[in-house]
Amino acid sequence: MYTKKIKENLDCGILVAAKAFGGKWKLCILDAIKRGMVRPADICRYISDASPRVLEMQLAELLFFGVIEKCAEDVYPKKTEYKITLLGESILPILTQIDNWGTAHSKFIKERHKELEESEST
């Protein structure tokens, strides 16, 4: 079994938050669930740039940390839904602020990103 050579410092609040919410799609998953996309297929359609396997892995991590919970009904076909826990709801105001910041600075970030891509291709 793999063991990390450097012990993680989980005494730092930023590192703890990054552990729970870090990952390319976790905040997008939370946003999707908040907007009512609670079934796995709906989440995959909402976040079409991510593969279903990656979304599945990130959903599993959010479940593990107690940010979301999985509700599965024993019917045919099986019906699985996700909902945000109280712990997960505590990040939603911050998620809204991140969304507002991204919207406000979108043009600048897109321009810089384009410049970065151009410099890397030369």
Locate all alpha helices (DSSP H) within the chain, ordered by sequence: 13-21, 26-34, 40-46, 52-64, 86-89, 92-104, 106-121
User: What is the number of residues in the chain?
Assistant: 122
Residue ranges of domains in the chain: 13-88, 91-122
Provide the pLDDT for residue 1. Answer: 63
Q: Domain 13-88: which CATH class?
A: mainly alpha
Q: Which DSSP helix (H) or strand (E) runs through 71?
A: strand 68-73
- The tens-digit pLDDT sequence of the chain (122 residues) is 667 777 877 888 999 999 999 999 999 999 999 999 999 999 999 999 999 999 999 999 999 999 999 998 888 888 899 999 999 999 999 999 999 999 999 999 999 999 998 888 77
Mapped onto helix, strand or coil, the DSSP state of residue 102 is helix
